[in-house]
Amino acid sequence: MAEFFKNIPKIKYEGPSSDNPLAFKFYDPDRVIMGKTMKEHFKFSMAWWHTLCAAGTDMFGVGTADKSFGAEVGTMEHAKAKVDAGFEFMDKLGIEYFCFHDVDLVPEADTIAETNKRLDEITDYIKEKMDATGKKLLWGTANLFSNPRYMNGAGSTNSADVYAFAAAQVKKALDLTVKLGGKGYVFWGGREGYETLLNTNMKLELDNIARLMKMAVDYGRSIGFDGDFYIEPKPKEPTKHQYDFDAATAIGFLKEYGLDKDFKLNIEANHATLAGHTFQHELRVSAIHGMLGSIDANQGDLLLGWDTDEFPFDVYEATMCMYEVLKAGGLKNGGFNFDAKNRRASYTPEDMFYGFILGMDTFALGLIKAAALIEDGRIDKFVEDRYASFNSGIGAKIVKGETNLVELAEYAEKLGAPELPSSGRQEYLQSIINSILFG
Ligand code: XUL
Ligand code: CO
């Protein structure tokens, strides 16, 4: 079989002092951190769409990278070449998982029956490769946003026929996810939203999105899907108002419609910042509701303000992410999917490797530093002490739900006026982070 990345060897761990661009400096798959190997902590995944499909097209220009892999783009030969290239790429990087949208795998045909035939053929081929290599599917999804029929969304569309077509795609994508042993199924509602309320029945759209998700759960469970469904929140882009704005909004929606037992969240760093939050905020909101499912690892550019899907290199952010993940006890069925792409001017095959090496090393550093932060203990101790007033006396009664406004009012009257709360010491805490990161 043709080798696509001829000049690229298997990427090995060489340590921080290595200057070999094709080596890991921090990601050492077998290194044990807090009881688990790095490989177990991460379950790194390759996103089929960015890695094997995206060629750098933007609103002002065509692609710069050649992703033909020696075949004619838009053919089944090309679809197969992408499988071969993808497996070689994962093998050389030591990545064990991948994620896909249905239309990343094959060119869409004129009818869904024909597209599904193509999907069956390509997933037979993928399955063979998975069996031969031990690579696994992290999650599957259906692309319900690119085709013009989804101009108003899928669950949120005004056309019942388009809704039915979306349901058919979800059904097939679930079949494929189960066929390939995936433990996750994602709903990213890129066009599940609206541009103007002048033409929108918001209540019907929300109800219909929930109905589509409920049908997906019922069907998925009926064919043996025992993994997690995920909503991937994002506030905007491409739609102006997206219903899954952020983690808190998505959790409220899932609870309102009784979907919270089957769904968790897939949190993407760049979506968090678009929502005006930090990545850490979105992870914490998910974790405290028991809904931290999976992570789309990337980063945005705060100077740009759109979804730039860059490979993560911000170690501070990665540390705070891994702090949340470790505190939450890790991800169960989820993993770290690099929903990230090379910059348009980084267009060579080597750049694809540099992107993943950067991302994997950044997260490895984040894990090392987050573990050091937890082992150091000062931050955790500070937070614990900060709320000590709720451990005894009137505070303990509040927490246990054993008091009421009358008793609290009497208590306050006796006090006269409370002392100021203890100092937040933000600057002191930030300097601890710096000394752990760079000390
Ligand atoms: C888009 C995005 C998607 C989802 C899957 O911003 O993140 O690629 O991850 O549909
Ligand atoms: Co994503």
| HSE-CB for 82 with a 13 A CA cutoff | 30
Q: Which residue in 226, 244, 223 sits closest to 235, CA to CA?
A: 244
Asked whether residue 39 is domain-assigned, the answer is: yes
Instruction: Record the tokens describing residue 155, joined without a space.
Output: 């669950």
**Does 250 reside within a domain?**
yes
pLDDT > 80? residue 236: yes
- Are both 272 and 415 inside the same structural domain? no
Same domain, yes or no: 392 and 251: no
Residue 149 has pLDDT above 80, yes or no: yes
- CA dist 116 and 84 (Å) reads 21
pLDDT of residue 158: 98
Whether residue 407 lies inside any domain: the answer is yes
Nearest to 309 by CA among 274, 354, 282: 274
Note whether residue 141 is domain-resident.
yes
> Among the atoms of ligand 1, which is closest to the Cα of residue 268?
7
Q: What is the CATH number of the domain that holds 290?
A: 3.20.20.150
| Residue 234 in contact with ligand 1 by CB distance below 6 A | yes
Q: Is residue 233 reached through a cis peptide bond, with omega within 30 degrees of 0 on the bond before it?
A: no
Q: Which atom of ligand 1 is nearest to the CA of 143?
A: 10
Distance from residue 221's CA to the centre of ligand 1 (Å)? 24
244 lines ligand 1 (CB under 6 A): no
Residue 247 shares a structural domain with residue 365: yes
Atom number of ligand 1 nearest to Cα 101: 10
d(CA 166, CA 150): 9
254, pLDDT greater than 80? yes
Average pLDDT of the segment spanning 367-396: 98
Give the pLDDT confidence of 23-68 residue by residue, as tens digits.
Answer: 999 999 999 999 999 999 999 999 999 999 999 999 999 999 999 9
CA–CA–CA angle 158, 163, 169 (5° rounding): 150
By annotation, the residues acting in catalysis are: 101, 104
Query: Positive or negative, the Cα torsion across 318, 319, 324, 326?
Result: positive
Residue minimizing CA distance to atom 6 of ligand 1 = 307
Mutate to test the pocket of ligand 1, among 51, 188, 295 (most ligand atoms within 8 A of CB): 188
Token pair 């009257």: residue = 413
> In this structure, is residue 82 part of a structural domain?
yes
Query: Atom 10 (ligand 1): residue with closest C-alpha?
Result: 188
User: Could you tell me if the CB of 339 is within 6 A of ligand 1?
Assistant: yes
pLDDT at 1: 74
345 and 386 belong to one structural domain: no
Residues 208 and 161 sit within 8 Å (Cβ to Cβ): no
Sign of the torsion angle spanned by Cα atoms 124, 125, 130, 132: positive
* Gap between the Cα atoms of 163 and 209, Å rounded: 9
Q: Residue 258: exposed, middle, or buried by beta-carbon count in 10 A (0-12, 13-18, 19+)?
A: exposed
Using the mean position of ligand 1's atoms as its centre, give its distance from the Cα of residue 419 in Å: 48
For ligand 1, say whether the CB of 296 is within 6 Å of any of its atoms.
Answer: yes
Q: Residue 143 Cα, ligand 2 centroid: separation in angstroms?
A: 12
Interval 404-425: pLDDT, tens = 999 999 999 999 999 999 999 9
Mean pLDDT of 115-129: 99
Residue at which a domain ends, from 320, 340, 375: 375
DSSP per-residue letters across 80-115: HHHHHHHHHHHHHHT--EEEEEHHHHS---SSHHHH
Both 302 and 423 in one domain: the answer is no
**Single residue among 326, 346, 375 that ends a domain in this structure:** 375
Range of the domain at 244: 12-375
Number of other residues whose CB lies within 10 A of the CB of residue 379: 15
**Which percentage of the chain shows pLDDT scores above 90?**
99
Alpha carbon dihedral 341, 55, 109, 217, in 10-degree steps, equals 0
Looking at the predicted structure, is the pLDDT value of residue 366 above 80?
Answer: yes
- Write the pLDDT tens digit of every residue in 153-211: 999 999 999 999 999 999 999 999 999 999 999 999 999 999 999 999 999 999 999 99
Mean pLDDT of 71-100: 98
Check: CB of residue 305 under 8 Å from CB of residue 273. Answer: no
Q: What is the mean pLDDT of residues 241-269?
A: 98
**Assigned domain for 3 exists:** no
**Same structural domain, 406 and 329:** no
Please check whether residues 330 and 412 belong to one and the same domain.
no
How far does residue 297's CA lie from ligand 2's centre (Å)?
8
Mean pLDDT of the chain: 98
Asked if residue 433 lies in contact with residue 372, where contact means CB atoms within 8 angstroms, the answer is no
The helix-helix angle for 349-376 and 315-327 (nearest 10°) equals 60
Count CB atoms within 10 A of the CB of residue 68.
Answer: 15
| Token code pair at residue 57 | 């097209």
User: Which residue's alpha carbon is nearest to atom 3 within ligand 1?
Assistant: 188
Residue nearest to atom 2 of ligand 1 (CA): 188
Mutate to test the pocket of ligand 1, among 146, 268, 299 (most ligand atoms within 8 A of CB): 268
- Total number of domains in the chain: 2
188 CA: nearest ligand 1 atom: 10
Please indicate, yes or no, whether residues 403 and 351 belong to a single structural domain of this protein.
no
- With b for 16 or more beta-carbon neighbours within 10 A and e for fewer, the 285-318 pattern comes to bbbebebbbbbbbbbbeeeeeebbbbbbeebebb
Least Cα distance to 133 among 72, 74, 92 occurs for: 92
- pLDDT score of 223 more than 90: yes
Q: Is 48 near ligand 1, meaning CB less than 6 Å away?
A: no
Q: Measured in angstroms, how far is the CA atom of residue 24 from the centroid of ligand 2?
A: 24
User: Does the CA dihedral 33-39-40-43 come out positive or negative?
Assistant: positive
Q: Which pLDDT does position 216 carry in this prediction?
A: 99
**In sequence order, what DSSP letters do the residues of 172-200 get, joined into one string?**
HHHHHHHHTT-SEEEE--TTSEES-GGG-
CA 4 to CA 70: how far, in whole Å?
9
The CA-to-CA distance between both ends of the chain, in Å, stands at: 48
354 and 424 within one domain:
no
The response to whether residue 188 sits with its C-beta less than 6 Å from ligand 1 reads yes
Q: Is 267 in the pocket of ligand 1 (CB under 6 A)?
A: no
Residues 320 and 211 in one domain: yes
Residues 122 and 211 in one domain: yes
- Supply φ then ψ for residue 157, to 5 degrees: -70, 160
CA neighbours closer than 13 Å in the CB half-sphere of residue 368: 17
- Domain finish residue from 375, 400, 426: 375
| Ligand 1 contact via 186 beta carbon (within 6 Å) | yes
Instruction: Tell me, yes or no, whether 401 lies in a domain.
Output: yes
Q: Which residues contact 188 (CB under 8 A, 6 or more apart)?
A: 141, 145, 231, 232, 234, 244, 266
Q: Is the CB of 295 under 6 A from ligand 1?
A: no
What is the distance of C-alpha 71 from the center of its chain?
30
Expressed in angstroms and rounded, the spacing between residue 186 Cα and the centre of ligand 1 is 9
Q: Is 4 a member of any domain?
A: no
How many angstroms does the Cα of residue 338 sit away from the middle of ligand 2? Answer: 8
Is residue 251 domain-shared with residue 391, that is, in the same domain? no
Give the tens place of pLDDT for each residue, 274-309. 999 999 999 999 999 999 999 999 999 999 989 999
